[in-house]
Structure 1
Amino acid sequence: MHSFKCGAPVLDFLGTLRARRNPVPTEMLVSPESLEAWFRESGLVDGDTPCGPSDLEQATALREAVYLLVAATLAGDGYDADALALVNDTARTPSAVPQLARRGRRRTEATPQQALSSIARQAVQLLGGPEAALLKECSRDECTQVYLDRSHGGRREWCAMDPCGNRIKAAAYRARKRTEARAASPVRSSR
């Protein structure tokens, strides 16, 4: 259900609101259960993290605050004070803590607030560290996903090949074929 292609869970969390510039963006966190699923699928926690409607509201508020900070970083602008305060306040609360199980396997259980604190701390670490320089937004117009470009030479253009890279390449191919077809068609003279 959820997608994890951005190089950092906090950026994948931003991707739970897709196509932000569309008239009607696609919301992936539509219920407390979808938030629970995101926590589990992201690897942030193992097992279930029962969430309620207020947890979902807190999660979407945190997501949008982090997005404002990331967008400001991409634009080279200063941070929105309210967004900064929300991220920092959330990061101050206890985060999810991994525990070692009997057979040496790591297991992480957390409350929704602890999971959100972990996301806020990742945002602080990312935006306050050297990887902030690797942030990029997908070049497909309909996509607003932000990712870390760790490619050789920093030339990655899309959040992922599927679907964004494939769609851009297919559109470029169709445009080339139309141009070639026009060039190959005989020119009619008007008399």
Structure 2
Amino acid sequence: MGVVFVGGNLALDYVGTLNERHTNRVEQLRAPADLGRWLVSAGVLDRPPEVTAGDLANAIGLREVLFALVEQRIDRPGEAPRPAHLRRLNAAAAAPDPVPRLTGNGRITHTGDLAAGLSAVARDAIALFDPDRGGVLKWCADDDCTHPFLDRSRGHRRRWCEMAGCGDRVKAAAYRARRRGGAPSSTSSVSPGSAG
């Protein structure tokens, strides 16, 4: 799947940097530079910040906390978040945000260090808990995909994180199965949070 920005929320796309979490575990943040590039691709910062191996490990730890919070929010909505997760999230969100600047040619730039970039991600994660923001948190309906997304579609009928990838793959598998007279292999409704 690669790096995609389809979650409708920066934190959801950050969680999605580990694809196929319960099967192949396709890591998109393999080196410190990958994290810096992701922050630029996501539009958080204009230039990659300095990232050490320790910074990357810490940022991946934050990603896993975000995954746990999203998983709990989708699969066990009545359950309170773990205090350790809240502390980690709130600490990341407390760092200063990237600084926007308007240039002479009318362009907006965003500058900051790694903490600022991760602060923007953490603040978007906190926004997921605001009931006035609208949308429904969901898992992609593709069994192999573990990318969460915010469904803002009319009637909340969106099933896939992205139609061009997961949706097409599932529909093609269903079509092939119908042609063979069998059942499709990747259309169950089991959530990634309940898979092993």
Instruction: Please state whether the residue corresponding to 2:97 is helix, strand or coil.
Output: coil
The Cα offsets for residues 116-170 of structure 1, whole Å up to 9 and x where unpaired, read as 1111111111223434751100011111110011112110111011221111101
Q: Indicate the residue corresponding to 2:16 in structure 1.
A: 15
CA spacing shift, 1:132–1:27, aligned 2, 3 Å: farther
Distance 1:11 1:67 in 2: 8
The correspondence for 2:113, drawn from 108, 111, 115, is 111
Amino acid at match of 2:63: R
The Cα offsets for residues 35-86 of structure 1, whole Å up to 9 and x where unpaired, read as 0110100000112312111221121111111111111110212212211110
Contact 2:50 2:114 in 1 (8 A): yes
Distance 1:175 1:88 in 2: 47
Runs of 4+ in 1 over 4 A off after TM superposition: none
The correspondence for 1:124, drawn from 126, 132, 136, is 126
Identity, % of aligned pairs? 37
- In the TM superposition, residue 177 of structure 1 has moved relative to its aligned partner by 1.0
Tell me if 1:57 matches 2:66: no
Whose helix proportion is higher, 1 or 2? 1
List runs of 5+ in structure 1 lacking aligned partners: 181-191
Instruction: Please state whether the residue corresponding to 2:128 is helix, strand or coil.
Output: helix
Instruction: Please state whether the residue corresponding to 2:110 is helix, strand or coil.
Output: strand
Amino acid at match of 1:107: T
Tell me if 1:39 matches 2:39: yes
**Correspondence list, 1:22-171, <5 A:** 22=23, 24-75=24-75, 76=77, 77-131=79-133, 134-171=136-173
**Which deviates more, 131-140 or 168-177?**
131-140
Q: CA RMSD in A?
A: 1.6
Distance 1:140 1:116 in 2: 28
Higher Rg of the two aligned structures? 1
CA spacing shift, 1:93–1:113, aligned 2, 3 Å: same
- TM-score, length basis structure 2: 0.86
Q: Indicate the residue corresponding to 2:190 in structure 1.
A: none
Amino acid at match of 2:168: N
Contact 2:10 2:125 in 1 (8 A): no
Contact 1:2 1:41 in 2 (8 A): no
- In the TM superposition, residue 88 of structure 1 has moved relative to its aligned partner by 0.7
Q: Indicate the residue corresponding to 2:5 in structure 1.
A: 4
